[in-house]
Amino acid sequence: MKIHGVTIGISPLHILVVVFFLVLFAASYLATSEIMYLLWGIPLSLVLLIIPIFNSYSVGSQYVKLLPEYEEQSKRVRIKQINFAMLGKPVRVEGVVQAVKGVWLCRPALTIFDGSAAIVAKKSAPLEVDVAVGDNVEIVGMTVRRFAIFGDVMVHAIGVKKVENLTPLEEEESAPAEEIRIKKY
């Protein structure tokens, strides 16, 4: 679902919680015939649905506003070049999707491989495009740690789009490594 160009996502978990509380309030009303269970329960259950919708819209609208800035400032890098010295810097990476997780929670994580290495790119809002394993994608985002204090480097994706062809590896990256010879004494 889109609102003003922002993709909104509701997790099935949120819907399950709302249904649980609606059933709970309805059962309480049927057991006691006290109308206050319905008068308070239905609006409170709906608030449990409105809060994730508002959060999804808020985060998604921030991504829409930030995307042009990140596209302008990002530097195209190979995944193997991403390291801890690049934390907080905008990057643009291309690769083939190897795994897609968390889509049903509206917090997708894509594992992408560009021929040099693989990296995880997470987004805190639903994807605008359907991405499957084997698709070529371009990700614009910021390099961050996987966890707040420790962990490996990943990309916090601001924009994800499918591309037809990947940018080929540079000559020095695609050339086989020279053979090392060791002299025996």
pLDDT at 28 over 90: yes
Under a CB-based contact definition with an 8 Å cutoff, are residues 125 and 7 in contact?
yes
Lowest-confidence range among 61-65, 91-95, 131-135, 162-166? 162-166
Q: What is the pLDDT of residues 128-137, one digit of tens each?
A: 889 999 999 9
Q: Where in the chain is the domain with CATH 2.40.50.140?
A: 74-166
pTM, to two decimals: 0.77
CA dist 111 to 123, 130, 134, Å? 12, 15, 11
Handedness of CA 40, 41, 47, 50 (dihedral sign): negative
- What is residue 98's three-state secondary structure? strand
Cα–Cα distance for residue pair 100/135, rounded to 1 Å:
11
Classify residue 134 as exposed, middle or buried by CB count within 10 Å of its CB (0-12, 13-18, 19+): exposed
Which own/partner pairs from 149-153 qualify as long-range (CB within 8 Å, at least 24 positions apart)? 153/82, 153/83, 153/84, 153/86, 153/87, 153/119
Fold of 74-166: OB fold (Dihydrolipoamide Acetyltransferase, E2P) (2.40.50)
Between these two residues, 142 and 1, which has the higher pLDDT value?
A: 142
